[in-house]
Structure 1
Amino acid sequence: MHARIRLTAEDKAVNAIVMIVSVLALLATFYPIYYLLIYSLNDPIDAAGGGLYWYPRKFTLENFGYVFKSDQLLHSFLVTVARTLLGTAAGVLFTATAAYALSKERLRFRKAYSIIGLITMYFSGGLIPNYLLYQKLQLLNTFWVYIIPALFSIYNALLFMAFFRQMPAELEESAKVDGAGDFYIFARIILPLSKPVLATVALFVAVNHWNDWFSSAYYVSNQNLWTMPTIIVRMLSDNSIMDNMKNMSPGMRMDPLSTLQAIKYATLIVTILPITIVYPFIQRYFVQGMMVGAIKA
């Protein structure tokens, strides 16, 4: 039997204040997204009348129908999914491998590599040098311009290095006694024990790939390779939607401004929904992995 902790009046007051502040923060964070959802599920002409706060007053899926009728959006969705899956897997594995080497004192020029990496956290070559570099590497207008430049992140490498240094040295020593090499130890021992930091870094990398519109806008002119964020930016243009309103029902064409607003909200929901669905499944690992950032690399 554990002794029950008795809360003083001051403790109860502090707990009440923390609870109130937490609830307010939750509402301030969640409600704007919820409002986008109910507005996008409501008839746009009816929503223009106002008073739409808690649930769709006149339910409809026509706003989302417009979004998914766009062939270009569907194609860009597939490109974004492919980029996110491949880019996340490659980026996490490459960064973890480099970080594992950098975490070892026996690596030659380890400090020099670390300093060079840290410099890139604060200074960038800029748009024009990057463009010229990608041009020389023949990455422009290719799918690999999304993957190769994002293979390594020094911030994520620091998270990996901090985690790897916490592991008992005896694990590697015993494996080496049995004749295991560095790559075998890394793949069969280190990585299986690194699920928390792997999940954390994977989420960071996946969100970056999913939301990135910059690479597609500046380094890719082939529309077949455009990602969903770039297409959505174009779709959110009033003129783009207005030009396609001839394909909508007569009722929606009667109030183009209200329809425009509803379609914008539906498009935003389509964008944020996949990452929102994935996050709860890796939340446990994410919380554990974030604790690694508090440890000095």
Structure 2
Amino acid sequence: MFVRNGTSVLKKVLTCAPTYLDEAAPINEISKKYQGQHLDKGKLLDEYQQLLDAYAKADIQVEQLTPQPSMTNSVFARDFGGCVREGYILGNFKEPLRYSEHSEYEEKMKQLGIPKLFEVKKGLFEGGDFAFLRENIIAVGIIERTNMEGFAELREGLEPLGYELYPVPADSRYLHLDMCFNLVDDNLAVAYEEGLPTAFKVLLKKLGIEIIKVPEEAIFNHGCNLESLGNHRVLSLKQNKDVNKALREHGMDVIELDITETLKAGGGPHCMTFPLKRV
């Protein structure tokens, strides 16, 4: 078994250092604000090390993809696909900037001995839109980088394995589902509720999932881009003061990362982490 759900104990992850992330490419609403600005390489590497240190302290094994000059945004490892109990699904990037990551991540997963269940080829699918709600229930964002054609391929490949998939359309400015919604504990999520479709909110209520609500501007400050470690632990950003306070009030152990430079490229801790094993 590889990844059982989105909130059980995280044991192993795949990441990639931001070695070649020199500037924020204008490929999402956040990075557009920093277009043309060179990023501080020292800060980027320090922030990545913070993530590695947090995982080491939590006894989570880290596998690393070797950075390549052609893969400037590969630090956002989440996006190449999705991982379930039986293996992984290889996605299909929308932005040409990320095309070269496809084969590199595929080869790395082969080296790690994780089987590829299938590949999304006709439509678009990126891992930031892939969210477990329960062990057999998966939400898929239909926002900016995943489309309904990609969703149809996911459903065709995963339903025979016993999974239920639900599309979650939202404003394209939100980029990925993990920017506006994230499950942080079995029955607790952080989300911009007003930006989620009614059918999805009905599903969350049916499943008994409580939402810590954030304003829309929190999306663009990575207020929802959190990584559940299991056992009521969550990685968040130091700047997420209100979110972190609310999480602690709900009994969560919040591990704060002082990450700011990496965010300028459009992703946070959840984007930087591809889960390989949750038990």
Same fold (TM over 0.5): no
Q: TM-score of the superposition, structure 2-length normalised? A: 0.24
Q: TM-score of the superposition, structure 1-length normalised? A: 0.23
Q: Which has the larger radius of gyration?
A: 1
Please identify which structure carries the higher strand content: 2
Indicate the structure whose relative CO is greater, using CA pairs within 8 Å and at least 6 residues apart: 1
Please identify which structure carries the higher helix content: 1
